[in-house]
Structures are given as C-alpha cells and as structure tokens.
Amino acid sequence: MNTQMGSALPMEKLDRTNFASWEYKMHQYLVGQGYWSYIEGAHETQPNPTHADYPTWEQASSRVLYCLASCVHDHMLGYIREAKMPKEAWGNLKRIFAANMVARRLQLRHELNNMQQRDMSITNYTLKIKELCDALGLINVIINDDEMVQICLNGLAS
C-alpha cells in the first residue's frame, strides 16, 4: 500500500453541493491507492490488538479515515468524527448527501425549466442553460440536446 497517501489527495473538499463529483473522485483515489476494500467493508472486523495483523490494519484504516476527514470541509467533520471504521464514515456521508442530491436535482431542474432570457444577452442566456445542464450532469441527470434546445427556445425573450 502507498505510504505517501496524503501527498496527492483530491483537492475538491466535500460541501453541500458537490457530493456526486466528490464521491466519484474519492472512489477513484481510494481504488488507486488500494484502500477501497476498507470502504466496502472487507476489513470491517478489527483484528485483536495482540494479533500480528493489528498494526497494519489500524494504520491502513486510520489512513482512509484521515483521507476522508481531509477531504471534507471542517464544518462537516461531525458527520464522520465518531465513525470507528472507514465503511461507517463513508456510509454516513452517503446517507446524508443522498437526500441532498435529490433536493439539488429538483432545484436545478426547476431552475432550468423556468429559465428566462429577460435582459441577458443570448450568449449569457445559453451559457447559463449550459451551466445548469452541466450541474445536472454531475449528479447523473442527463439533459439531451433536443430538450436543451426546447428549454432555450421556451425562455427566449420576444
């Protein structure tokens, strides 16, 4: 396992709006470092402290917990602070942010469907629509080109 794990942590810290992209990056990072099995629960059972494997298990488990704690904003540490195992910390984050992702999807969808050009230039208007579609894409909601064109046309000023 990589002993330099902290040297290349994903830069984006988890906040209330970026769970989907953060989760993807963190998953890839932990897989790449050889630690994803700690999230899946393969090392969920702590060896006896007198067992020869205990120091290795404790060190790896602590690395994963440190990685998670380092990649969330400080005001969010309470969600994982009490977790004893990486799987528990990951599960806490997923449970909390799954509901937030539904709310975020609904909010972005509403904003997109009600988008109006008003006094924006056509360039700024289409960029705003693209930004909303991209934000939805980050949470696995794909807006196809036909729908994007329809939304754009519906909100154009006369």
Q: What DSSP letter does each residue of 121-142 carry, written as one string?
A: -HHHHHHHHHHHHHHHHHTT-P
Instruction: Report which of 121, 125, 122, 141 is spatially closest to residue 133, judged by C-alpha positions.
Output: 141
Phi, psi (5° rounding) for residue 17?
A: -115, -5
How confident is the model at residue 71, as a pLDDT? 94
How confident is the model at residue 107, as a pLDDT? 93
Phi, psi (5° rounding) for residue 7?
A: -75, -20
Low-confidence residues of the chain: pLDDT under 50: 1-3, 6
How confident is the model at residue 4, as a pLDDT? 52
Residue type, 50: T
How confident is the model at residue 6, as a pLDDT? 47
